[in-house]
């Protein structure tokens, strides 16, 4: 059964301890739901699926729904696939509609790194102590595991700053171009905090080689990883509505992937290969690629694998510019993919995201 995407919205993305520093993610999400509520018949909504990675636990999706203006009889489910949570929530909505179980679902994700709680392991847990970052692999228990995974991936693939820096600069320049042209405005919610209109806080159009060269290594003096080639942490919310009723975009296929947890940035590339193989589509038939560039090495892997398609990659800028509000990022990718397809008058778009623990997922959409 075909599944269509009808509309979607995201908040501007705030940097950690920035414009949303005291706003709970469920309240940000409720603002997006309220706006979507104005454009859909809520009597047909069967469920809300919401990704979240570093919230306070419990069913935060349900709490968000109750804070919104949506009827409180709509059930809500929270999905945690870490960085891939937002896209997995959309994939789960897709599967429920395609199977005939549901008709209309709101899906996406919310996150607040600013309000990420400090947790404590139980008394008899051998890991003991306080933590903010969950354990993703049996082989490591480091709060820097994602940065260390990026560093390992760069070493494995022989990636240096000479390859990384151009992608970083390009990401910020493309994001600024998209902002100047208003390409994403149809998919963005106007939010004011303390009387000030919120913006995507991390875009730096002045990013350049000299600035990148001044950034200090994050994992010791000989490491490659810096605050320039690893995205910062962020707050935001993004949702789409999906239905079996015909709409402007159709989901062609969506599928998850899993591999080596020590090299998690490879997930975007490998999940892309996986879904292209499964659909039989050639990479050259894809007009827009949206990958979550949590690390610049992810963009390098794209450029090496698809050197002739770089102009189709993150053409509106990527996470190095906009940011990576974990559980929200997959839904952001889909919205940016939709906007990019409209902008370039393309047909097929492919979204892919790597997740902590060596996971990933990809989705292909078709523009009507």
Beta strands in the chain (DSSP E): 4-10, 14-15, 45-51, 76-79, 104-112, 119-120, 130-131, 192-193, 196-197, 234-243, 249-258, 288-291, 348-355, 359-367
Name every residue whose Cβ is closer than 8 Å to that of residue 166 and which is 6 or more positions away in sequence: none
**59 within some domain:** no
pLDDT of residue 300: 98
Domain that holds residue 274: 251-367
Structure tokens given for 97: 């509609």
CA distance 261 to 274: 17
Structure tokens given for 215: 């950034």
**317 within some domain:** yes
Confidence class for position 18, pLDDT limits 50, 70, 90: very high
CA distance 327 to 353: 11
Confidence class for position 70, pLDDT limits 50, 70, 90: very high
**331 within some domain:** yes
Mean pLDDT of the chain: 96
Confidence class for position 38, pLDDT limits 50, 70, 90: confident
Phi, psi of 168 (to 5 degrees): -65, -50
Confidence class for position 149, pLDDT limits 50, 70, 90: very high
State pLDDT tens for residues 256-276: 999 999 999 999 999 999 999
Confidence class for position 40, pLDDT limits 50, 70, 90: confident
**52 within some domain:** no
pLDDT of residue 41: 76
Confidence class for position 182, pLDDT limits 50, 70, 90: very high
Residue that wins the pLDDT comparison between 144 and 237: 237
**β-strands 192-193, 196-197 pairing:** antiparallel
**276 within some domain:** yes
pLDDT of residue 63: 98
CA distance 50 to 56: 14
State pLDDT tens for residues 322-344: 999 999 999 999 999 999 999 99
Confidence class for position 6, pLDDT limits 50, 70, 90: very high
**312 within some domain:** yes
- Give the residue-averaged pLDDT of 298-324: 98
Domain count, the chain: 1
Confidence class for position 143, pLDDT limits 50, 70, 90: confident
CATH number at residue 348: 3.40.47.10
pLDDT of residue 71: 94
CB contact at 8 A, 61 and 80 = no
Altogether, the residues listed in the chain come to a count of 368
**333 within some domain:** yes
**270 within some domain:** yes
pTM over 0.95: yes
- Give the residue-averaged pLDDT of 38-45: 79
């Amino acid at each position: 059964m075909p599944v269509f995407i009808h509309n979607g919205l995201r908040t501007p993305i705030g940097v950690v301890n920035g414009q949303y520093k005291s706003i709970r993610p469920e309240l940000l999400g409720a603002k997006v739901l309220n706006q979507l509520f104005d454009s859909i018949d809520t009597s047909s909504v069967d469920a809300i699926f919401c990704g979240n990675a570093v919230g306070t636990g419990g069913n935060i999706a349900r709490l968000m729904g109750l804070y919104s203006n949506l009827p409180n009889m709509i059930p809500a489910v929270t999905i945690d696939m870490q960085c891939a949570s937002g896209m997995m929530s959309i994939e789960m909505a897709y599967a429920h509609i395609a199977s005939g179980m549901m008709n209309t679902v709101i899906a996406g994700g919310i996150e607040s790194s600013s309000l990420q709680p400090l947790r404590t392991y139980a008394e008899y847990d051998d890991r003991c102590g306080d933590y903010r970052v969950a354990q993703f692999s049996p082989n490591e228990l480091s709060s820097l595991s994602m940065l260390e995974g990026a560093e390992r991936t760069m070493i494995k693939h022989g990636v240096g700053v000479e390859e990384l820096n151009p992608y970083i600069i390009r990401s910020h320049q493309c994001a600024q171009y998209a902002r100047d042209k208003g390409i994403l405005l149809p998919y963005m919610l106007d939010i004011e905090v303390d009387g000030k209109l919120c913006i995507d806080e991390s875009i730096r159009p002045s990013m350049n080689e000299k600035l990148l060269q001044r950034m200090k290594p994050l994992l010791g003096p000989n490491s490659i990883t810096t605050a320039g080639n690893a995205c910062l942490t962020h707050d935001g919310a993004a949702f789409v509505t999906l239905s079996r009723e015909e709409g402007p975009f159709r989901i062609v296929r969506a599928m998850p992937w899993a591999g080596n947890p020590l090299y998690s940035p490879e997930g975007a590339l490998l999940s892309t290969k996986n879904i292209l193989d499964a659909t039989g589509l050639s990479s050259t038939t894809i007009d827009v690629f949206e990958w979550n560039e949590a690390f610049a090495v992810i963009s390098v892997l794209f450029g090496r694998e698809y050197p002739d398609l770089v102009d189709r990659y993150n053409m509106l800028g990527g996470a190095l510019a906009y940011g990576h509000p974990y559980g929200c990022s997959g839904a952001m990718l889909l919205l940016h993919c939709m906007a990019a397809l409209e902008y370039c008058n393309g047909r097929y778009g492919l979204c892919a995201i790597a997740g902590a623990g060596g996971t990933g997922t990809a989705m292909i959409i078709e523009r009507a």
